[in-house]
Structure 1
Amino acid sequence: MRLILDRPGIWIAIICGAVILLLPFAGKHGIDNRLEENVLGGKELTTYRSFISEFGNDRILIGGFRYTSLNGALVTALFELEEALMSLEGVQEVMSPVTTLRKVFNLKPGQELQNWVKSENRVSNYFSRLTGFSIARNVIINTEKSTAAIIIRLKSEVADTDTKIISRIRETAENHPYFKNNIQVTGIPDIVRVLHDYTEYSRKVFTPATLIVIILVLIFLYPSISGVMIPLAVILTPLISTMGIFNLAGNDTNFITAMIPPLILGLGLTSCIHVMTAYIQKSGGECKFNPEILLDVLRDQTPPILMCQVTTIFGFATLATNGLGAIRQYGIYSALGVCLVIVSVLVLLPALMAATGFRHTGKTPAPVSRSLFPALSGFVIARPRLIITLSIATLLAGLYGVSKTSMETSLIRYLPHDHPVTKRINTIEEGLCGIVPVHLTLDVRGEQDLLDPDYCKAISRMQKKISAISGAGSVISYVNMITDYDMAFSGEDENIPPSRDEIVEYLEFYRPYAASEITEEIIRNPDGTTKEIILHETTALQDTTGTSDTSSDMVESFLSSDFRRAHVTIRLKDVSSSELTSIFNRIRSIARNTLPGDIKTELTGRAYLWAEASEALVHNEAINFLWSLLLIDLVIIWRFRSLIIGIAALLPNLLPLGIIYGLMGYWTVPVNTVTGMLACVAIGMSVDDTIHFTHSMQKKIESGMDYPQAIEKSLEDKGLPMIFTTLVIMCGFGVLMLSEFVPTFQFGALICLTFMMALLLDLTLTPAILLVAKPFKVSTQGDVSVPPEDSDLKHAVSAENINCGIK
C-alpha cells in the first residue's frame, strides 16, 4: 500500500496502458442468443443435425390471413406472393393453398395461370378437394374460420443474427397489395428476432443508464469534481477491461451477458464508497490530502473488501458450471470483472487519490447517523429474540411459498402480452394451428421399410392419438399423403392400401412433373348443372435430381429416399413449459406403445431443443446456488473462525431469497431462465454488507466495547455506507427494468427487492443474532469511553461544515 501512495503515477500509467490496449475491443461484439447448442449433450444435437441434413431446416415463418372468398384472385395473389418470397435471400421453400398446383401440377404463373383461374368451378373444386386433405386442413387452410396460411421455411444458413433477412421476409408478405393489413407473419425465428432486438436495446441502454445514475449518486455523496471523476474512472476501468477480454475471446453478447456491465459498475462503486467514506470520516474534513490517513483506511478496509469480493466471485464462479453457455459466460466474466474491481479499488483508487491530492467538500453524513441509527440500535438491543423469531417465522412462510413455485421457460411467454408478435401468434392459433414445430423422427431397424402397410397403419394410429393431446394443433407425416390420395379416389377416410406397390404409386402423385397438360372431366347433375370437375394430369414424372427449390419433392420432405427414415411434424400451440413437458412425455409414451419395436423414435426440432435446454438450465441454477451457498459460508467461517458467524451471515441473506421466491409461489409467478440466476447473484452480493458490519463489530469488541456499545457504534459507522452501497447496487440493477423483455424486467425488479430486504435484515437481524450468540470474546482491556473510530467520527462531525474547495 505504501508503494502505491509513494509512486501513484507509475501504477496509474500501468493500469491506464492496459485499459487503452483493451478499449478498442470493448465495444466490438455481435449478438447471439442461441440456447440449445450450448446446453444439450451430443445425443440431442446429433439427432437434430441428422434431421436437418435429411429433411431440411425446421425454422419456419407462418403468415396467417383471413379470406372472404376462395376465388381466382386469391389463387393469383398467392402465386405472386410465393414467387416474391422464393426470390428473397434466406428462403428455402414456401407452402400455401396453391402449392399443389405449382409443385404437383407444375402450373406456371402468367398466361397459363390466368387461363386456369378463369373457370370459377375449377377453382371451387380445387379448394374443395384441398380442404378435404388432412395434410392441408387446419395447417394451410381452415374453411370453418375462413383462414389460410402461407408457410415459409428458411435456409439452414440463416442465423439468429440475420434479423434483416427475417424482417424482409415478413415485410414482403405483409406489404403485398392483396394481403396488406390482413396477413400476420410470425414464428420461432420472428420471436428470436425480437429477442435479438431486446439484446441490442439492452446493450445500448443499460450501461449509459447505469452511469447516469452512478454520477448522480456521486454528486450527492461527494460534491466535487475529484469526488465524482475519481470513482468514475475506478469503476470504468474494470468494465472496459472485462468487456475487452470478453470480446477478444470471441464471445457474442446475449440477453443474459448484456447484464454484466451494470453489475461491474455497481460492485465497483460500492467498494469505492466504503473506502472514500472511511477516508472522509477519518480525515475530519482536512483540506490537505493526508496519505497516512488513507493508508490507515486501506489497512482497515482491505480485509472486508477482499472478503466481500471473494464471496461475490464464488457466487458467480458457480455459474461457470452451468450447462447454458450464456449463463456460464455470465458467471465467468462477472467473476473476472469482480477480480478486476478488486485491483482497481485497492490500487487505482488510492493512486488517483494520492496523485490528485483528493479533498472533499461539503457535510459529512454524521448528523444523519446521529439521528437515525441510535433509535434502530436501541430497538435491536431491546428485542433481539423477537427479531430472530419473526425472521425465522417469515422464512418458514417463504419456504412454504417456494414449494408452490413453478417454472416457465417458453420463449413465447417471455414476451409482453400486448407485444405485436404475441398478437400475431394468437391470431394464427385462433384460425389455424400452433406455430411451434416439433418433430418425431422414425428410423426403422427391421427388414421392411416404412412403406410397409402395417407400419403405415401403426403410424396412422399413433398420429390420431397424438392429435387428441390438448395443445397439439396438427400432426402430419407422409402417411397423410397416402390416406389423402386414397380418400380422393375411394372416399374412405384414413384408409391405407393393402400393398406396398399401391403406396408407392400413391406417393408418386406428390412428386413434381416436368411439364403438364391439365384436362378436366365435368360430371353433371341430371338437370345439366355441374356436379363435379375432375382434374387429369397427362404427363410423366420428371427426375427430381438437382431440381430447384420451386419444384422440390414434397415426399422427401417427410420421407427419406430409401424409405427407412421419416418424421412426423407436430405443430404445438403456445402452452406453458410444464404443459409442454407433459406433451413431450405423452408423445414418447404413445410412440412407444403404438409403433412396432423395430421403429426407433426420437423427438427433435429447434423448439424442442430450446424447451429441453431451458428446463435443464433452471435445474442447473438450483445446483449452482447450493454450491455458491456452501463456498461462501465456508469462506466466512474460515475468516471469522466461527460457525455461529457463518450462520449469522447467511440467515439475513437467505431470508430475502426465501421471501422473494415464496411470494413468486404465492402469486403464481413462475421461475424462468433469467430469474433462476437471482439466488446465485444475490447471495454473493448481499452478503457484502453483512461482512462489513460483522467485521466492524469484531473490531469494536476486541477494542474493549461490550456488545450493546459495539452494535450502536457499528450501526453509526457502517449504517450509511451500507445504505448507500445497497442503493447503488439497486440503481445498477434497476436499469434492467427498462427492458420490455419479461425475464430481464423481472430479474431487475426482484433482485432490487431482494437487496432492499437484505439491507433491512443486515441492520436488524445480523446485530440481533450477534447480540444473542456473542461469538466474539469481549476484551478486558482498552478504553471504551472514546474508541478510535468514535474519536474520528467526532472529529468529522466537528468539521462537517468546513469548505475545502473543489479539487
Structure 2
Amino acid sequence: MLKLFTEDFWDAIARLILRNKITILICIVLATILLSLNWKNMRFTNTEANLLPDDHEVNLTYNKFLDIFGEEGNLIIIGVKDPSLFTVEKLNAWNQLADSFKSSPAVESVVSIKDLQNLVKDTEHEKFVLKPFITDSVSSKADIDKLQNDLFKKYPFYDGFLFNKETKTVRTAVYLKKDIVNTAARKNYVLKDFIPKVEAFEDAYNLDVRASGMPYIRTLNAQNIIDEIGLFLLAALVVTSLIFFFFFRSFRATFISIIVVCIGVMWTFGILGFLQYEITVLTALIPPLIIVIGIPNCIFLINKYQHEVKLHGNKVKSLQRVITKVGNATLMTNVTTASGFATFILTESKLLKEFGIVASLSILSIFILCLLIIPIIYTFLPYPKDRHLQHLNRRWIGGFVNWMEHMVRHRRITIYVTSLILLIASMIGVYQIKISGSLIEDMPQKSEFVKDIRFFEDEFNGIMPVEIMIDTKRKKGVMKRSTLKRMNDIEELIVEIPELSKPISVVGLVKYSKQAYYNGNTKYYQLPTAQENSFIMSYAKNSTTDSDINLLKNFVDSTGQYGRITTFMKDIGTDKMERIEENLRTKIDKVFPKERYDVTMTGKALVFQKGTKYLVKNLVISLSLAIVLIALFMAYMFKSGKMIIISLIPNLLPLLITAGLMGYLGVPLKPSTILVFSIAFGISVDDTIHFLAKYRQELQANKWKIKISVYNALRETGVSMFYTSIVLFFGFSVFTISSFGGTVALGALVSATLLFAMLANLLLLPSLLLSLERNIANKKEFKKPAINVIPKEDKNKITKN
C-alpha cells in the first residue's frame, strides 16, 4: 500500500501514461461508450424521498396502515373560489369536467358536487338510501340557490371536504388508482391528461382553477428536478469555464478542461445507470458537482504544466513532472473530497447512501480522467504561447499573495482576534438554529403548484395527510358506540387545532345517519344516544349490503377491527408539528385504554417530519466520522498528532461560521442544508493538504527554518489555492439559480463556507504554524512522512528569504 505513494511509483505511472497514450485514449473512449449504454437504466424517482430506514418503527407503522387501508396519498384536488361558478353554464361545466376525469383508466373514483348524495331514510325497508343533490344537471338559478342552501346550511358532513361554507370555495376530489400512484403512469396521467383538461376548462370559462394533492405535487416537483439538471449542467460549465479562461487566457486549455469534465459527467450518468439508482433531488446535483470539482483538478495540472514549460522549455519533461508532482497531491485531495461524500454511505438512509456512493465514485473517476487525458492531449499540442503563460506573473495575483504574507508576518494578533470573535459570534448563532420538517419548504416557492398549496391551506387547512389508526383488537369493534364516542373526542380536539383540517372518519357518517333518521334536521348531526344507537345503526347496517352505497368502506377495514381518522396538516415547522403530535398523543392515551385499543399516528406528514430529525442526527454522525477519518489521514500523512489539531482548526472554523450564519439568518437544519458541512469540509481540507505538504517540503529544504518555510509555502501554494477556491465559490453559486429552496441554500452555504475556508487556510493556518509549530519542526517522524504528497525534486525552486 505504501508503494502507492512513493516517487518511484508515480514515475512509473508517468512513463506508463506517456508511452501508452493511444491505448489509454482508446480505453477511455470504450469505457465511456460502455457506461453510456447504461444510461437507459436511469429513471427519475416516482416516490417521495424516504429518509428513514425500511425497518424503522415509523416506516413499519406507516406500512401497516397501507396494508390495511391502502395508499393514502392518491388524492388530487381541484378547487375554485369564484362566485361566478354558481351560474348554470359554469356549474354544469364544472360537473362535466369532473365526469371527464372518471373515464381515465388511471382514476379510481371522482367526488364532486354532482356526486354528493343526500342520505334519506327509507322507512319501508328500514335502511338509508342515497339520492343525488343534482340528478343530471342544473337548469335554472333556482336549482343553484336550492343546491347552495342545502349544501352550505343543511349538511355539515360535507363541509370542509368538498366546500368551504364560509368562503364558498368548491373543490373536486380525484382519487387515482392506488397501484399507479408510485409509478410512471401517475406522471403520464397528471402531465398528459389531467393538466390539459384543467387548463382547457380555465381558458373556456375564465376561472382560476387551483390544483393540489400529493400525486400532483410530487409529479410537478419531480418535473422541476428534471428540468433543472440541464440548467445546472449548462450553468456550471459556462461559469467555471469563463473563470478558467479568465485565469489562463487560453481557449486551448479551457476547451481541454471542458472535454474532461463533460466525459466525467457522462461517466456519472453511466454510474447511476449501472447501479440502477433513481435520480432524486440529491443525485441530480452530482453531475454539476463533478464539473465544479473537476475544473480545479484541471487548474492544478495545467498550471503546473505551464509553470514547468516556462521553467525549462522541455515539454516531455514538463508533462512527466505534472504527473509525478501533482498527481499524488491531486489524488490525496480527491480522496479527501470523496471521503467527505462517502461518509453518507454510513447513514441508514437509502437516499443518502446512494448519493454518497455515486458522488464518491464520480469524484475518483474525474481524478482519473484529469490525470490521464490532460497530459496525453498536451503531448499532441504545440508549446504554449507566451500570452498563455502571462498569468503566471500577473501583478494582481502577486499583490494578493503579498497581502497574505503581510498579514501573516505583521498582523497575526489581528488574525487570532478576528477568528476568536467569529468563533464566539458563531457559537451564539448555532444555538438559534432550528430543525425543519417541512415537505414544501424546499419546493419552488414561485411555482403555481406551491401557490396552490397555500391556497388550499387557507381554504381547507392543508393537504398533507395525517392518519390516526385505531385497532380495537376485535372484529366489528369500530362500530361499537364506546369506540365511536372515543373517536369523537379525538376529532373534537383536532377541530380545535388551527393547523389541522376538519377530520374525516366513520364518526361523521354515523352523525350523518342520525341526521338522516330525523329527516335531515341539522340539530341531530351528532352521535346517537345509547337508546338511539340500536335502531339507527340497524338502518346503516342494512345500507351496507348495497355495494354502491357502502358508507363505511373508506373508513373501516373489511373486518371492522380497524378504523381511521384522516385529517390534513398545514405546512408548519417541526416544533409546531411536534407539539400537535404530543397534544394528540396525550389525548389518545387518555381516551383509549391501552389494554383495549392500539392507536397509532402516521401519514406522510409525520413520516417526513420524523425522517428529517432522523436524517439530521445521522448527518451529524456522518460529519463527525468525516472529521475523524480525515484527521486520521492527516496523522498518517504527517506522522504528527499536533498537526491534526493545527490542520483541523482552519477547516472547522468555517463550518462554525456557516452554522452561525444559518442561525442568524433563520436558515433551518434540513436534509439539504445539513449536507453543506460534509461537502464543504471534504473539499476545504484539500487546501490544507496542499499547504502543509508544501510546508513540510520547505522545512526539509531550508534546514527546518520555520519562518522561511511558511512564507515560501504561502507564496507557492497561494495562487493555486486562490484559483481553485474562486472556481469552487462561483461553481457552487450556480446552485443558487435553482427554484428549490434547499438547493439554493446548499449552493450559497457551500460557497460561503469554501470562501471562509480559503481565507482560513491562507491566513490562520500559516499563523498557527508560526506560533505553535516549533516543537514539531525537529521531530523525526515529521521529517519522514508516510506519504510524500509533493516530491523532493521541487526543492530546486525554493527561494530564500
TM value normalised by structure 1: 0.86
The residue aligned with 1:505 is 538
CA distance in 2, matches of 1:67, 1:377: 69
What SS is found at the alignment partner of 1:414? coil
Q: By how many angstroms is 1:402 displaced?
A: 1.0
The residue aligned with 2:78 is 63
The residue aligned with 1:201 is 227
Q: 1:569 aligns with which of 561, 566, 585?
A: 566
The residue aligned with 2:582 is 585
Q: Which moved more, 1:221-230 or 1:695-704?
A: 221-230
Q: By how many angstroms is 1:224 displaced?
A: 4.1
The residue aligned with 2:10 is none
Q: Which moved more, 1:227-236 or 1:594-603?
A: 227-236
CA distance in 2, matches of 1:398, 1:552: 63
CA distance in 2, matches of 1:646, 1:655: 14
Distance change (3 Å), C-alpha of 1:695 and 1:121: closer
- Equivalent pair of 2:650/2:764 in contact (CA under 8 Å): yes
Distance change (3 Å), C-alpha of 1:119 and 1:361: closer
Q: By how many angstroms is 1:497 displaced?
A: 3.6
The residue aligned with 1:243 is 269
- Equivalent pair of 2:256/2:374 in contact (CA under 8 Å): yes
Q: What's the C-alpha RMSD, in Å, of the aligned pairs?
A: 3.1
Q: By how many angstroms is 1:757 displaced?
A: 1.2
1:142 and 2:176 equivalent? no
CA distance in 2, matches of 1:67, 1:276: 64
The residue aligned with 2:29 is 16
The residue aligned with 2:361 is 336
Q: By how many angstroms is 1:735 displaced?
A: 1.9
What SS is found at the alignment partner of 2:502? strand
CA distance in 2, matches of 1:189, 1:674: 22
Distance change (3 Å), C-alpha of 1:183 and 1:256: same
Q: Which moved more, 1:745-754 or 1:190-199?
A: 190-199
What SS is found at the alignment partner of 1:387? helix
Q: By how many angstroms is 1:119 displaced?
A: 9.7
Paired letter, 1:344 = L
1:496 and 2:528 equivalent? yes
Q: By how many angstroms is 1:133 displaced?
A: 3.8
- State how 1:635-654 maps to structure 2 within 5 Å: 635-654=633-652
Paired letter, 2:558 = S
The residue aligned with 1:273 is 299
CA distance in 1, matches of 2:381, 2:584: 70
CA distance in 2, matches of 1:460, 1:636: 63
Q: By how many angstroms is 1:213 displaced?
A: 2.4
1:90 and 2:106 equivalent? yes
What SS is found at the alignment partner of 1:475? coil
Q: By how many angstroms is 1:127 displaced?
A: 4.4
The residue aligned with 1:294 is 319
What SS is found at the alignment partner of 2:599? strand
- Equivalent pair of 1:65/1:148 in contact (CA under 8 Å): yes
Paired letter, 2:262 = L
What SS is found at the alignment partner of 1:413? coil
- State how 1:620-631 maps to structure 2 within 5 Å: 620-631=618-629
Distance change (3 Å), C-alpha of 1:343 and 1:146: same
CA distance in 2, matches of 1:336, 1:358: 34
Q: By how many angstroms is 1:361 displaced?
A: 4.1
- Equivalent pair of 2:505/2:564 in contact (CA under 8 Å): yes
CA distance in 1, matches of 2:551, 2:89: 25
Distance change (3 Å), C-alpha of 1:118 and 1:299: closer
CA distance in 2, matches of 1:299, 1:151: 67
The residue aligned with 1:354 is 379
1:5 and 2:18 equivalent? yes
Q: By how many angstroms is 1:489 displaced?
A: 4.2
The residue aligned with 1:80 is 96
Q: For residues 672-696 of structure 1, give each alpha carbon's deviation from its aligned partner in whole angstroms, at most 9, with x where no partner exists.
A: 2211100010000011111111111
What SS is found at the alignment partner of 2:170? strand
Paired letter, 1:388 = Y
- Equivalent pair of 2:248/2:391 in contact (CA under 8 Å): no
- State how 1:89-488 maps to structure 2 within 5 Å: 89-101=105-117, 113-114=136-137, 120=142, 124=146, 127-128=149-150, 131-156=153-178, 157-159=180-182, 161=184, 162-167=186-191, 168-173=193-198, 175-176=200-201, 180-224=206-250, 226-284=252-310, 289=315, 291-356=316-381, 359=384, 361-362=386-387, 363-368=390-395, 369-446=397-474, 449-488=477-516
Between 1 and 2, higher relative CO (CA 8 Å, sep ≥ 6) is seen in 1
The residue aligned with 2:555 is 558
What SS is found at the alignment partner of 1:148? strand
Paired letter, 1:496 = P
Q: By how many angstroms is 1:130 displaced?
A: 6.2
- Equivalent pair of 1:510/1:555 in contact (CA under 8 Å): no
What SS is found at the alignment partner of 1:151? strand
Q: By how many angstroms is 1:200 displaced?
A: 0.8
CA distance in 1, matches of 2:591, 2:266: 59
- State how 1:735-774 maps to structure 2 within 5 Å: 735-774=734-773
What SS is found at the alignment partner of 2:478? coil
Number of aligned positions between the proteins? 750
- Equivalent pair of 1:134/1:480 in contact (CA under 8 Å): no
Q: Which moved more, 1:605-614 or 1:392-401?
A: 605-614
In terms of fraction of residues, the more helix-rich structure is 2
What SS is found at the alignment partner of 2:524? coil
Distance change (3 Å), C-alpha of 1:671 and 1:206: same
CA distance in 1, matches of 2:720, 2:551: 69
Q: Which moved more, 1:122-131 or 1:415-424?
A: 122-131
Q: By how many angstroms is 1:481 displaced?
A: 0.8
Q: By how many angstroms is 1:308 displaced?
A: 1.4
CA distance in 1, matches of 2:65, 2:206: 35
Q: 1:32 aligns with which of 45, 53, 64?
A: 45
CA distance in 2, matches of 1:591, 1:367: 72
Q: By how many angstroms is 1:484 displaced?
A: 2.3
CA distance in 2, matches of 1:724, 1:620: 34
Q: By how many angstroms is 1:337 displaced?
A: 1.1
Q: By how many angstroms is 1:316 displaced?
A: 0.8
Distance change (3 Å), C-alpha of 1:660 and 1:145: same
- Equivalent pair of 2:272/2:358 in contact (CA under 8 Å): yes
- Equivalent pair of 2:466/2:566 in contact (CA under 8 Å): yes
Q: By how many angstroms is 1:171 displaced?
A: 4.2
CA distance in 1, matches of 2:542, 2:112: 18
The residue aligned with 1:732 is 731
Q: Which moved more, 1:275-284 or 1:367-376?
A: 367-376
Distance change (3 Å), C-alpha of 1:286 and 1:477: same
Q: For residues 216-262 of structure 1, give each alpha carbon's deviation from its aligned partner in whole angstroms, at most 9, with x where no partner exists.
A: 23433444454234333333333322320211221221111111112
Q: By how many angstroms is 1:416 displaced?
A: 4.6
Q: By how many angstroms is 1:629 displaced?
A: 1.0
Distance change (3 Å), C-alpha of 1:222 and 1:737: same
Paired letter, 1:262 = P
CA distance in 2, matches of 1:375, 1:76: 76
- State how 1:767-786 maps to structure 2 within 5 Å: 767-774=766-773, 776-777=776-777
- Equivalent pair of 1:433/1:572 in contact (CA under 8 Å): yes
Q: For residues 433-471 of structure 1, give each alpha carbon's deviation from its aligned partner in whole angstroms, at most 9, with x where no partner exists.
A: 322221111111147611111111111112112222231
- Equivalent pair of 2:474/2:561 in contact (CA under 8 Å): no
CA distance in 1, matches of 2:254, 2:207: 53
- Equivalent pair of 1:140/1:432 in contact (CA under 8 Å): no
Q: Which moved more, 1:260-269 or 1:355-364?
A: 355-364
Paired letter, 1:5 = L
CA distance in 2, matches of 1:636, 1:275: 23
TM value normalised by structure 2: 0.86
Paired letter, 1:264 = I
